């Protein structure tokens, strides 16, 4: 029978310092590819709506006529899909985790500057298929 | 004369962060019968396959479970790839093995911690979770997510790991091997732990096989069955031996998981040595048609993703059979006739994941 197998670990814990990060004093761990939250550069967005169509959580809404790009931070599950599909790379994934909210003000609305002109119906279908590939 | 009473266990119970409900028919502190009740967190994820295009559904498949997340995504991708005859690049297959084994380590360490907690060994619980943090750090550094990796993709993987980072990861794992060894000695040799685990929750090899147990539950009953032996992803190019124990009790299932941690480290090390250079993904175009049963080994056991395409961008059917589903009948068998105080420990040995089970 073996007793006190834990003794070695206990002694080690007594000698070594704490294993946890002392959070506010020490910064939290972050890596260059950590997925924190989505940010947009409104000057480059061409309002193509690709991010809206591909988002698995339906978190993004692009309103062309009002020149608005909206993201519902409560719905977004930070999957990086929109960042990958954006054709002009105006979306980026920030490594900071988004701050906590105390009330439902999760919808972030961004005014975009350029709006792509609407295409006519017959031209739209092949163009859409091409962009999906 | 003793009286039979029914004691509800769960759906909220201190040892189990999962909403599993068991109605225990108890007589004289002995459990006569256990009746499982599930259905508290159904999310309808399988129906979503008809509303999302197949490349985007990977994100949803990954969110079936927070622990085997990467393996769920990978199994779904394997199914779609086979259906569409896509040849995945070799480097991607090795990367899939590396992340799968990291997920396994993360899950087993989490489970060992919870298991120690269910025995009332708080210190060991904290020790297990401290080690798990190393594994999570490596995962976040390579995939961008601590728990939901989001790196599986139809046609390959999304992110690459540089060879320097791979070396660093292997060195890190070798570093924690010693600490793991100390922790395993407590789990496997300490007399108080042994007296709590030996000869409880017995499941004979015949019962395990007939009731369809999978994963460590099956291998703890001396049946050498592991889907990794089929050689999916790059497992056929690595040396892999399933870990089998013949105790048939809670101790054996704990030992299987403990020893699998070391086998995972060996697999990651070997994969890091053998990984070839080259692309990590191929472009997948077209619309899937046909059906496929995709299988993989999760930390808890075998998972099956059934996918069926109908020639459009959206799949027609997706069905998942998770290891917890397969392990519930063996659990009921194990609980028959056990002491009432052993119920939490026995329930935890199948590592129930209700998020997986109900989707
Ligand atoms: S953010 Fe990118 S993908 Fe979305 S509408 Fe703008 S340009 Fe298109
Ligand atoms: S990160 Fe994912 S969930 Fe969030 S907005 Fe982009 S696509 Fe949608």
Interface confidence: ipTM more than 0.85? no
Q: Distance between CA A108 and CA B199 in Å, rounded?
A: 57
Q: Which residue has the tokens 């990590």?
A: B280
Question: How far is it between the farthest Cα atoms of chain B?
Answer: 73
B112-149 pLDDT, tens digit each: 888 888 887 788 888 888 888 888 888 888 888 888 88
Give the contacts of B231 (CB within 8 A, at least 6 positions apart).
Answer: none
Beta strands in A26-124 (DSSP E): 37-40, 60-63, 68-72, 91-94, 107-111
CA-based nearest distance A24→chain B, Å: 19
DSSP-derived pairing of the beta strands B5-9 and B30-37: unpaired
Q: Which residues of A touch B (CB under 8 A)?
A: 1-6, 8-10, 19, 29, 31, 33-35, 54, 56, 77-81, 84, 93, 132-133
Residue nearest to atom 8 of ligand 1 (CA): A48
Structure tokens of B56?
């985007």
DSSP-derived pairing of the beta strands A91-94 and A37-40: antiparallel
Structure tokens of B297?
């080994």
- The reply to whether B189 touches chain A by the CB within 8 Å rule is yes
B64-94 pLDDT, tens digit each: 888 888 889 889 998 888 888 888 888 888 8
Structure tokens of B159?
């992110």
Q: Which residue has the tokens 């692309």?
A: B279
Q: Distance between CA A43 and CA B310 in Å, rounded?
A: 41
Crossing angle of helices B163-189 and B122-143, rounded to 10°: 170
DSSP-derived pairing of the beta strands A107-111 and B21-27: unpaired
Residue B275 confidence (pLDDT) above 60: yes
Q: Which residues of A14-39 are buried (b: 16+ CB within 10 A; e: fewer)?
A: eeeeeeeeeeeeeeeeebeebbebbe
- What pTM, to 2 d.p., does this model score? 0.86
pLDDT, average across residues B327-336: 87
pLDDT, average across residues A128-132: 47
pLDDT, average across residues B273-284: 84
Phi, psi (deg, nearest 5) at residue B38: -125, 170
B184-193 pLDDT, tens digit each: 888 888 888 8
B248-262 pLDDT, tens digit each: 888 888 888 888 889
Q: Which residue has the tokens 């946890």?
A: A20
Phi, psi (deg, nearest 5) at residue B124: -65, -35
Which one of A13, A56, A59, A95 would you mutate to disrupt binding with B, by most B Cβ within 10 Å of its Cβ?
A56
Q: Distance between CA B344 and CA B261 in Å, rounded?
A: 23
């Amino acid at each position: 029978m073996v007793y006190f197998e834990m003794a070695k670990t206990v002694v080690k814990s007594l000698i070594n310092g704490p294993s946890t990060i002392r959070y506010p004093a020490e910064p939290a761990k972050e890596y260059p590819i950590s997925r924190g939250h989505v940010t947009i550069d409104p000057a480059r967005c061409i309002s193509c709506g690709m991010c809206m169509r591909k988002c698995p959580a339906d978190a993004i809404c692009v309103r062309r006529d009002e020149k608005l790009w909206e993201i519902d931070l409560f719905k977004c599950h930070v999957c990086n899909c929109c960042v990958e599909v954006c054709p002009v790379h105006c979306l980026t994934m920030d490594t900071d985790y988004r701050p906590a909210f105390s009330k439902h003000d999760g919808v972030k609305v961004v005014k975009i500057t350029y709006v792509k002109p609407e295409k006519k119906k017959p031209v739209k279908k092949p163009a859409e298929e091409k962009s999906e590939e | 004369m003793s009286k039979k009473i029914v004691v509800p266990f769960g759906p909220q119970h201190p040892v189990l962060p999962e909403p599993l409900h068991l109605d225990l028919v108890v007589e004289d502190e002995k459990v006569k019968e256990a009746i499982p009740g599930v259905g508290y967190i159904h999310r309808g994820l399988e129906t979503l396959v008809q509303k999302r295009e197949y490349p985007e559904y990977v994100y949803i498949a990954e969110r079936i479970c927070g622990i085997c997340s990467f393996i769920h995504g990978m199994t779904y991708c394997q199914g779609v790839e086979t259906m569409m005859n896509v040849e995945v690049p070799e480097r991607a297959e090795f990367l899939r093995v590396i992340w799968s084994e990291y997920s396994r380590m993360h899950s087993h360490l989490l489970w060992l911690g919870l298991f120690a907690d269910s025995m009332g060994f708080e210190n060991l619980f904290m020790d297990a979770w401290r080690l798990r943090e190393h594994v999570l750090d490596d995962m976040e550094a390579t995939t961008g997510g601590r728990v939901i990796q989001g790196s599986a993709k139809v046609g390959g993987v999304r992110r690459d790991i540089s060879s320097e980072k791979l070396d660093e990861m292997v060195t890190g794992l070798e570093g924690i091997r010693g600490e793991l060894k100390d922790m395993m000695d407590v789990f496997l040799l300490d007399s108080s732990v042994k007296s709590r685990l030996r000869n409880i929750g017995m499941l004979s090899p015949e019962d395990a096989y007939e009731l369809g147990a999978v994963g460590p539950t099956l291998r703890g009953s001396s049946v050498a069955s592991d889907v990794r032996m089929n050689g999916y992803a790059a497992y056929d190019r690595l040396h892999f031996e399933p870990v089998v124990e013949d105790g048939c009790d809670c101790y054996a299932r704990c030992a299987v998981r403990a020893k699998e941690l070391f086998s995972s480290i060996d697999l990651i090390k070997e994969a890091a040595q053998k990984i070839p250079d080259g692309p990590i993904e191929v472009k997948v175009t077209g619309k899937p048609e046909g059906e496929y049963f995709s299988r993989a080994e999760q930390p808890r056991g075998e998972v099956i993703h059934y996918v069926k395409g109908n020639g459009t961008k959206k799949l027609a059917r997706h069905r998942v059979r998770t290891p917890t589903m397969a392990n519930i009948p063996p659990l009921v068998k194990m609980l028959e006739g056990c002491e009432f105080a052993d119920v939490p420990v026995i329930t935890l040995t199948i590592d129930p994941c209700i998020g997986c089970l109900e989707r």
